[in-house]
Structure 1
């Protein structure tokens, strides 16, 4: 990072020799993409860079005169993170490694300064993407500063250039821009173009030129057509894997289970009803992609619920039927944000698959009203201290319990799921077995999350931590765990990788076993195949599909149906 910000070095050195146009040598450029895999210390690398350049930052603030009168120069580095919890993580790393060497200001919530002076007299400002977007809409303080440096943590949050997150980040004033993300490509290579647009590094400092000269050549398929991308990444991207660390080896395994007879009957009934509904749509006058998408989405989700919960339908499972594991996903999903702007017909988010609005009409007759799925009372209505007959639980949940119990005493387990019913089902099944269990989801307060994580990390009696994927996928250090369980496959394989990396990261001293659970002959096997396809496409092709239609094709592939 220091080399990329050193004018005498940033355009020289074998590390950055490239095939790019010679014009790139004419303009000093600062910043880049740190794409180290999760757990490699991107936060610490950034803090060391800030500490090392304090003198240059002060000179910048003292002698820089912005052309725009409203821009006030500051020596501070602005770091943008996805959530308040990540702000606390950054502060913890500073206190742990640098004591009082850096002056830190938090621009978030009640701690948000009301004037420019606190942003001038500080070394580091921490804020969230949501706060930044709000500031952008109001033309607030963050956009009136000329920052010494801007760092986007989990920079894939801005991969959709139509969102407020992207617009708010890209309009910040600075000449030093950094993107930190272990998953720069979530689904497709175009994800990189938004990061390139933010970075503004020559010779392709705009999204359109990056597409034309970097991504479009890839569609030709020849070996030489990848050279522009390789050159760009060699120049501006640093990617280190966990092979650089002396970590104990990790093991990944997949446990395949078969639905019970009763579960199979319920599963087949849902699939049959979905096919009847598709036949009705195809034979009718309304053959729109949106209606097909809604039917396929609902059927897929119901079958996934059967895979997780079987035939068990206690009130807490039914009430949370379509609710994602945490409400905060709504704010962080970039496609949800873009759809909110003037697209009234979309009922479900094509990216995170949540119901798009609480008043979205139910797709299939007899389904519960989605307003009860998303109500704040869902979690409050669940009695975690009640008892349920263990034999009633699904084949999959009993398989998870079996793996945890067989691991023996003294082992710690991280268990991830996307769904509220699964989270609470797991809590019941482990507490009935006498296993000390902790639970973190989207409605868990920041203070409570911090307490629970500290308990899991330090208390030898706390052996199981159950987390929602959205809550536990980024920024957490959970190296006390030696076993990671992924209860169901996620549509986005990068999210799974981020969750697993909470345990496999710098500081891990144990062999980590990663276990995934898949039900044979179900949509879960198809989703795993789709994950592989998406990973391959993200690396090799340039996809310009639109949200509804490209996800409609995903659902068709998963369900194995054909709609003409």
Structure 2
């Protein structure tokens, strides 16, 4: 590693070009100036699947390879890596060859699931001809797909932003082009539902029944009918143009996507569908019992609907919705936790089963025992917050995809987050043939979009195809179709007192000097960079002179994790540091781990249970050893000598002065006191630490309150939420955004206070949406706080662009490849270049 890093350091060019060759079972890259037998000439090897696909092409003399990588990126990755798994670098490989070989090369790459992309840095003056580029005809005139390359595309953040803007424009045009005049049957919920459905919910029920029965309006079918001269009928797919001439109309029954905005009552629409079709489910089981299948004797059919949700909190929410809106007698099973039933017969004889993605994934992974949920052919499957499965490679997607069902439904307010492939994955899950195959979606949607320009005929064709797919398979409405109480937003711009300003500026100078001094350091124990500096300045804006000078020397990883969560956003995922499986951030209980006070490791509930009652992080013990772990923490440059309990970073006695002043807390309390007895208020902060200071101010003002943070167990959260809804004495609820973002219905509150602005405005939107939803009777006011002349003003400007994306129903989140793991996210923010 040192030799490679040293060799990269000697480069004088922006890009490094490599040689490529087959060596044993691997395909390796060598430095361009490496001689035969040069032991230091090897740079690295390709992943096995990629190498296996490229190896036969290396034997074709007419095909030339040009691996190329950005020197600074390669050097940074190699320099930071402490082990092989961290030394994974991105290198592009350009392919050059004669046009007659293009099809053969394209087919070989496709077979290995590799698709050629337009190069960002290729030789000038050559003709670009991609065999994977879709050839189209517009009005009978073929579109020329080959073109001379005259300039390179923008790279880095600018290129990414341009790609996001193109996606934003495409999605906006698709939504505008949807048929708003679509005539949907309004279907009443029936006598098994105690809550009367609103108009848009009746239309949703009509849409879902239409999709499940197959009685679809010809205008919204994906297969169109044509009568031949001999009177027979043929069917042609409106997008792929595939034809069927056997006279049998393709079956388009199944499920779909209900993509209404959050807070419009999607769960009630689904419950009404379940009640409306209970008898149909029983009849379906009888019909299927006599039909032979390849898995006869293994699969057991059930009339039941399986509902899969992101967290245990949402399990309870769904069960509460069932108890509230459906008549008694519905057989409901909570399939979650160690006490869940193991009796197949009980599950089969149910109406609704509610489980979590994590439970499903854990059973799917368990090789020793067959997953009970995968032994059943369900009448219906419903994925709540379905965007969680948007990445096909994850176990979340695979465990859901391999379930058996008569019909499948996805509920999500964000069907597209940061890639068109997001909605393509949902189409695959609901079995929207032929788009259940990733290659088909890429060929007809993704690749043409990636290789088109904004105003080209190809971009128009892609938009038209997406409109066809969404109109046929998806129902999306905004809150404009329902009458919710108004929303008033206020921004309180505050000025520090002279004492607060002095402490803020002094802290900023000290931190800047330290960061400048540490430029180039890669030792893990010295990671304290721009991310931590920004965090400390934001905390100072909240805490004022209560915060002790140099408190940042007593580092709190909990503060860092809570800040990183808010930056990632409500729909993002983190990966378990133990088993590497993804899990949703919000609604999880991983923040409650007792031993993660000195590291950034995050464990899923299964790994937490399997680790038992360890006093130290099992990942740290595994990688560092118990002795090294203890000395690493106590000797860290950023942490002074730790007391015996090893918890100074999270001990407020070492963080806050007993006396002090916070301009923001004082203004917040003054606002809360107004009309206190006529309102109910929720106060959000991303930091548990800030809530502790806020509780001091509330107690001094004599205001009774309830508090929910990352340390609150699931049962404690539910108890406090119920108390907040019913207790007129406790009119204030304070909570962290991480615990308040998922699955809460807080329509009893009509005032929201957001202590600090967030990098990702989607987090704030989620918090506000807890109150702005069906059931809210009063106007809701939202008050945000900002200290002038601080880092908070920069955050305000950052939010404006991101809010444009959120308004379209998809989030701007870090790419999965860049920020899959919370540890990686924090590490990237920490590094100084």
Query: The TM-score by the shorter chain falls in which range?
Result: 0.7 to 0.9
> For residue 418 of structure 1, what is the aligned residue in structure 2?
686
> For residue 63 of structure 1, what is the aligned residue in structure 2?
287
Task: State the Cα distance separating 1:15 from its structure 2 match.
Answer: 9.5
> For residue 184 of structure 2, what is the aligned residue in structure 1?
none
TM-score, normalised to structure 1, is 0.81
**Separation in 2 of the partners of 1:295 and 1:377?**
17
Structure 2 gaps of 5+ residues are: 1-206, 225-237, 244-248, 582-590, 592-598, 603-616, 621-628
> For residue 366 of structure 1, what is the aligned residue in structure 2?
638
Q: How does 1:396-407 map to 2 (within 5 A)?
A: 396-407=664-675
> For residue 600 of structure 2, what is the aligned residue in structure 1?
355
The alpha-carbon distance between structure 1 residues 260 and 542, as it changes in their structure 2 partners (threshold 3 A), is closer
Task: State the Cα distance separating 1:197 from its structure 2 match.
Answer: 3.7
> For residue 218 of structure 2, what is the aligned residue in structure 1?
12
The alpha-carbon distance between structure 1 residues 274 and 547, as it changes in their structure 2 partners (threshold 3 A), is farther
| Aligned residues of 2:575 and 2:822 also touching (Cα < 8 A) | no
The alpha-carbon distance between structure 1 residues 253 and 163, as it changes in their structure 2 partners (threshold 3 A), is farther
> For residue 348 of structure 1, what is the aligned residue in structure 2?
none
> For residue 206 of structure 1, what is the aligned residue in structure 2?
437
Q: Is 1:30 aligned to residue 268 of structure 2?
A: no
**Separation in 1 of the partners of 2:448 and 2:802?**
20
Q: Is 1:171 aligned to residue 402 of structure 2?
A: yes
The alpha-carbon distance between structure 1 residues 218 and 281, as it changes in their structure 2 partners (threshold 3 A), is farther
Q: How does 1:183-332 map to 2 (within 5 A)?
A: 183-186=414-417, 189-219=420-450, 220-222=453-455, 224=460, 225-269=462-506, 271-272=508-509, 275-276=512-513, 279=516, 295-313=529-547, 322=559, 324=561
Q: Is 1:114 aligned to residue 342 of structure 2?
A: yes
Mean Cα displacement is larger for which, 307-316 or 477-486?
Answer: 307-316
The alpha-carbon distance between structure 1 residues 262 and 193, as it changes in their structure 2 partners (threshold 3 A), is farther
Q: Give 3-state SS (helix, strand or coil) of 1:167's partner.
A: helix
**Separation in 2 of the partners of 1:371 and 1:501?**
43
Task: State the Cα distance separating 1:40 from its structure 2 match.
Answer: 0.8
| Aligned residues of 1:188 and 1:543 also touching (Cα < 8 A) | no
Task: State the Cα distance separating 1:300 from its structure 2 match.
Answer: 2.4
Q: Is 1:42 aligned to residue 263 of structure 2?
A: no
| Aligned residues of 1:190 and 1:542 also touching (Cα < 8 A) | no
> For residue 126 of structure 2, what is the aligned residue in structure 1?
none
**Separation in 2 of the partners of 1:550 and 1:444?**
24
The alpha-carbon distance between structure 1 residues 548 and 141, as it changes in their structure 2 partners (threshold 3 A), is closer
| Aligned residues of 2:531 and 2:829 also touching (Cα < 8 A) | no
Structure 1 gaps of 5+ residues are: 344-351
**Separation in 1 of the partners of 2:440 and 2:538?**
41
Q: How does 1:386-535 map to 2 (within 5 A)?
A: 392-535=660-803
**Separation in 2 of the partners of 1:184 and 1:298?**
33
Task: State the Cα distance separating 1:73 from its structure 2 match.
Answer: 1.6
The alpha-carbon distance between structure 1 residues 45 and 292, as it changes in their structure 2 partners (threshold 3 A), is farther
Residue of structure 2 aligned with 1:130, choices 355, 358, 378: 358
| Paired residue total | 543
Task: State the Cα distance separating 1:535 from its structure 2 match.
Answer: 4.7
Deviations 1:242-280 (A, max 9, x none): 222222211122222334444444444555555556545
Q: Is 1:105 aligned to residue 333 of structure 2?
A: yes
Mean Cα displacement is larger for which, 425-434 or 355-364?
Answer: 355-364
| Aligned residues of 1:278 and 1:295 also touching (Cα < 8 A) | yes
| Aligned residues of 1:196 and 1:207 also touching (Cα < 8 A) | no
| Aligned residues of 1:4 and 1:32 also touching (Cα < 8 A) | no
> For residue 231 of structure 2, what is the aligned residue in structure 1?
none
Q: Is 1:547 aligned to residue 818 of structure 2?
A: yes
Deviations 1:430-488 (A, max 9, x none): 12111111111233233332222222112222210112222222222211111011222
What's the Cα RMSD here?
A: 4.5
Greater C-alpha Rg: 2
Task: State the Cα distance separating 1:127 from its structure 2 match.
Answer: 0.7
Q: Is 1:144 aligned to residue 375 of structure 2?
A: yes
Mean Cα displacement is larger for which, 42-51 or 164-173?
Answer: 164-173
Task: State the Cα distance separating 1:61 from its structure 2 match.
Answer: 2.2
Higher relative contact order (CA 8 A, sep 6+): 1
The alpha-carbon distance between structure 1 residues 122 and 536, as it changes in their structure 2 partners (threshold 3 A), is same
| Aligned residues of 1:178 and 1:199 also touching (Cα < 8 A) | yes
**Separation in 1 of the partners of 2:477 and 2:757?**
26
Q: Give 3-state SS (helix, strand or coil) of 1:547's partner.
A: coil
The alpha-carbon distance between structure 1 residues 388 and 558, as it changes in their structure 2 partners (threshold 3 A), is closer
**Separation in 1 of the partners of 2:561 and 2:473?**
36
TM-score, normalised to structure 2, is 0.57
Task: State the Cα distance separating 1:101 from its structure 2 match.
Answer: 4.5
- If each structure's helix is expressed as a fraction of its own residues, which one has the higher value? 1
Task: State the Cα distance separating 1:13 from its structure 2 match.
Answer: 4.9
| Aligned residues of 2:263 and 2:773 also touching (Cα < 8 A) | yes
Deviations 1:257-308 (A, max 9, x none): 3344444444445555555565456557x6x9x9999723222222222222
Task: State the Cα distance separating 1:555 from its structure 2 match.
Answer: 9.6
Task: State the Cα distance separating 1:166 from its structure 2 match.
Answer: 2.7
